[in-house]
Structure 1
């Protein structure tokens, strides 16, 4: 008898029902489950007492305190430290990844030496001898991405004793503000007392997303006493959150500041400047309402309203900074400082404050001195023939995070001996002769002294919360070891001793500041300030050809020293990255003018190269501006960051600012070509 349709269905149903009553599939499923749980690469569940340990996040310059939750001896997660003044229980996306980054695939597991283009493992003893041999009697430079840690102080002091002044920080607003303040004959480090201000005008800096001590800024905004207003070209996280967003063309925040000064001067406001009369006359004659409106895109009526609102406030504060945390000039900062001076808020509660400095390595220059030096100018000198025998790179990735990275790579190839102390296998580490990995910051002693942007003196120290997982060594301890081999005395035998000395110099001790950050409300009095008029002339320069480019830094995409983390891949938005293409943002008017379509492919062409991207049309960008994210386009690291999008740094154009000598790239313009 043949099998008809009814018989076939009966057979299937009967088989399915029968399967439910046989133990075979259930036993097989149980065996598979047991087998899969015993794969050798699956982490084994560990038991133990739960505890918390205070620590310090070093993934950005913000200096936030962390509370690391542990099970037994193993960290399992990191949250904001409720008792730390800069975190107050909050944590940013990068900080939340702290524990996971202990196990990031890109971690360097031990000291490596390049041999015929390939890296091979060496011992730390061999590494120390190689470094000592290559530094003795040679011309050495160093670059650091840690702008507030004592590790940089050790490195700078070491170079000084070797006879070198070539210590540099990676570019940031901390350097630009210091240069502007020094040109005005100011002392100390500038900060902003946001917590006590009742009207905060933010010119450019994306303070709630990526600029300065982000978590502290967010806490200050959440408990604000008045109004926050943001002026910038893109509706960033800050612009979308504050009370008002005022669109301003990229790099023109300084012009807007002087437009406000114009109205303040018309109201009879004055500032304690030695050359106040000259400055006043220059602004009133050159930065008229029509000029400011044409340069910024902000109407004269709006500028006047800003000036009036600032005067009405009892504790106003004007905070200036680059939209993406770097590349601005002394012009923007000097202009923003001048607004605060005219409002009389310098060293006043809720205003602009000047904070003291501190150092314990006698040979190290003061931070204010180091912050005025430009690594890009150093690269120009090397390109022009300056002899440099060796370069030490700590917590920095210049081959990715400087404008025109291909040109940077070409220049650095002229330096015969390069050492990276990177914890991770980044682009710069791959190009070095030695990689001597620093421990992850949770595995080492580290500190942060008064992160840039805060309104008070703060010192935080972190002790290790876990033993090093790999064969790594504290970079400052390694430098002290090499110094000993070279007969150079920095005055300390270990980095822990350096931290103890710094704590004692502030009237506390290492144990105390490890448990609770030191704070002080001391401000530095300013005796005699001035403002070189030639700095103010920068804002009147004509712009080049092309469309304004507004780079956007987003914390969760990484920063200049940390790539997109495995923990944050899932939060990248569909209008930021699709497969291997990243997105630029333009509004409808700009898209029509440039004949761009949604999801269309384009090339951005700049002075140093080009980027390939897709188009997202959105009204979160002002007219005639292209916004594009930083953080993509890595060629090293691991599968979580490598090969995703393009590196926007390739199209940024650099020029030298007259009057300050600074290199600036926040006014970049690009040509857009459909691909």
Structure 2
């Protein structure tokens, strides 16, 4: 399922040339500029984040880490930060570029990094002699603090003040995200935030974003394709990820449902679901449920009777997390190569089986090239073969038995400040002007893909931008910039904005919340089966909604029954609704507790990336 990591991977690829998520040396940073990351609300590795926050908080005055949280709601992170900025939702890119304007105008950027290790900062000429606008010129021309104030609602003097503090810090870092990072973000927004790191030369520097080596796992042998596989590989993916229209995106699960729903009969005849519950977790989950109903045969490997399993034709239950072996390759945001192995601590209680073992056994039963491609006796052997690469890599040699005993392998050493030969872009530098975006959009506009269908054959460049959802023009298209995310609903009919939120003690993924964690929710979040939404008191008073009042929350996609909680930390005219409740499956401890925001989210596509925008649904409140 797509996550925030996928957006970070695209940013890393487009601006630095690496096809992996960004990593952050938070432990050594002295100024944290967080654009929505719930650092105390479950973002990244929670144990790491709680530990590093304690470190920030206990530093003496001379080594204090200053924390600025950008968030339209007073979350736990915002409440404990040194400064809280609450811009209008979806305008974070403009805010980041407003700060970039100050840094560039006042020449507070790292001249050494900009002059020697970046491309596209200043105006330049290409090999044909054509002049191109630089990032600095566009930012100075469009994103003055006064203009950004009109977009975001943040006072220009505050923008200037924060930009200067960020620029004057010894080890500042800017982070892009939303909540726990469960869902993908906006590509141009994340690029805009990362541009702040580049301006200060915080790429591969202590306390900044790091370029690290991959975990040196041994590759498995190449798969031997049979005729069925070869035939399938000639076709475009059903979700359109990696096509001309979505060149940088690994997965577009919402497009998968869209294509199936738009077909007379399902192009998929068999669907395997592993560690996924899309019937619950997907924005506009009703569309995915509709698609699931059209697929002839569905197999679920879930150990839980979740929403997707209830629609399956066959359930082959996996072990629970305490009963199985799982490997973890570099948890989110970790700044060094790390490999962890979670081992079973109890024997399986029921007649379950590890999904990896099931897949290997099925492959052997099919026979032929498929069986020969799965050469292991079981899943543990497959992992063991991968782990052999940790020993063969040379440094920090460990054996399979060492990893099983210790549970992890990592290499914390890093060459801070190394700049030569680290970028894998076409320019061999950090790219404010992304040559990969330029090539992809120009290729898309010309329909250049021999032997493949193109949706824009013969169309103009402007038509291509329109189809990609990009409103910018000229060279700005290839650089970090602010794209206003349009919502599907009529603002007059749906005057409020719905913004889902995540809590550290409320599971929002494919596994439901443990019953005992439900006990940690306050009675103004969940009372019996009623879910509360957070509403600014001024907004609630306009609708005559008192504390605890019942209301209908309606969007163009549907409606939910909720109760009202007055919260001064909620932005006016924005409704904040928790993710993680509203299950229609599981047991009596979860089923029917609260409502699921995904039922009424009306997602539109993020420009260029195509990922669903889940924070921009227009809604209205109806008093009951």
Q: TM-score, normalization: structure 1?
A: 0.71
Contact 1:584 1:615 in 2 (8 A): yes
Q: Cα gap change, 1:295/1:652 in structure 2, threshold over 3 Å: closer, same or farther?
A: farther
Q: Secondary structure at the match of 1:439?
A: coil
Distance 2:556 2:137 in 1: 37
Distance 1:200 1:352 in 2: 12
Q: Cα gap change, 1:361/1:298 in structure 2, threshold over 3 Å: closer, same or farther?
A: farther
Distance 1:667 1:354 in 2: 33
Aligned to 2:68: 229
Indicate yes or no: 2:162 matched with 1:306.
yes
Match of 2:321 among 402, 425, 441: 441
Q: CA deviation at 1:361?
A: 3.3
Distance 2:616 2:12 in 1: 21
Distance 1:293 1:376 in 2: 34
Distance 2:485 2:598 in 1: 23
Indicate yes or no: 2:78 matched with 1:239.
yes
Aligned to 1:333: 190
Q: Deviations over 1:186-225 (max 9, x none)?
A: 2032111111111111111112112221221111111125
Aligned to 1:525: 422
Q: Deviations over 1:432-484 (max 9, x none)?
A: 11111110111111110001222221110122111111111111111111122
Unaligned 5+ segments in structure 1 are 1-169
Contact 1:211 1:324 in 2 (8 A): yes
Aligned to 1:153: none
The structure with the larger Rg is: 1
Q: Cα gap change, 1:440/1:241 in structure 2, threshold over 3 Å: closer, same or farther?
A: same
Distance 2:290 2:380 in 1: 38
Aligned to 2:529: 580
Match of 1:593 among 520, 542, 550: 542
Distance 1:673 1:287 in 2: 38
Q: Deviations over 1:403-459 (max 9, x none)?
A: 111111001222111111111111011111111111011111111000122222111
Contact 2:189 2:482 in 1 (8 A): no
Aligned to 2:462: none
Aligned to 2:27: 195
* 1:268-307 paired onto structure 2 within 5 Å: 268=107, 269=109, 271=114, 272-277=117-122, 278-307=134-163
Aligned to 1:391: 271
Aligned to 2:450: none
Match of 2:207 among 345, 350, 362: 350
Aligned to 1:454: 334
Match of 2:38 among 206, 210, 213: 206
Aligned to 2:220: 361
* 1:458-497 paired onto structure 2 within 5 Å: 458-487=338-367, 488=370, 489-497=373-381
Q: Cα gap change, 1:379/1:243 in structure 2, threshold over 3 Å: closer, same or farther?
A: same
Q: Secondary structure at the match of 2:516?
A: coil
Aligned to 2:251: 373
Match of 1:259 among 98, 120, 131: 98
CA RMSD, Structure 1 to Structure 2 (Å): 2.4
Distance 1:266 1:317 in 2: 20
Q: CA deviation at 1:492?
A: 3.0
Q: Secondary structure at the match of 2:515?
A: coil
Distance 2:355 2:136 in 1: 49
Q: Deviations over 1:530-575 (max 9, x none)?
A: 4353264552456662322221111322222122212212212110
Q: Cα gap change, 1:564/1:462 in structure 2, threshold over 3 Å: closer, same or farther?
A: closer
Q: Cα gap change, 1:276/1:586 in structure 2, threshold over 3 Å: closer, same or farther?
A: same
Indicate yes or no: 2:595 matched with 1:646.
yes
Distance 1:422 1:405 in 2: 18
Aligned to 1:510: 400
Distance 1:289 1:669 in 2: 28
Distance 2:482 2:87 in 1: 17
Distance 1:542 1:388 in 2: 32
Distance 1:361 1:234 in 2: 46
Q: Secondary structure at the match of 1:387?
A: coil
Distance 2:553 2:118 in 1: 44
Distance 2:583 2:277 in 1: 11
Q: Secondary structure at the match of 2:295?
A: coil
Contact 1:564 1:640 in 2 (8 A): no
Distance 1:204 1:541 in 2: 17
Contact 1:251 1:322 in 2 (8 A): no
Indicate yes or no: 2:285 matched with 1:405.
yes
Aligned to 1:22: none
Aligned to 2:382: 498
Contact 1:404 1:609 in 2 (8 A): no
Contact 1:179 1:372 in 2 (8 A): no
Q: Cα gap change, 1:361/1:605 in structure 2, threshold over 3 Å: closer, same or farther?
A: farther
Q: Deviations over 1:591-648 (max 9, x none)?
A: 2334422111122222322211111112121222221111111000111111111111
Q: Deviations over 1:3-52 (max 9, x none)?
A: xxxxxxxxxxxxxxxxxxxxxxxxxxxxxxxxxxxxxxxxxxxxxxxxxx
Contact 1:331 1:539 in 2 (8 A): yes
Contact 2:189 2:481 in 1 (8 A): no
Contact 1:232 1:323 in 2 (8 A): no
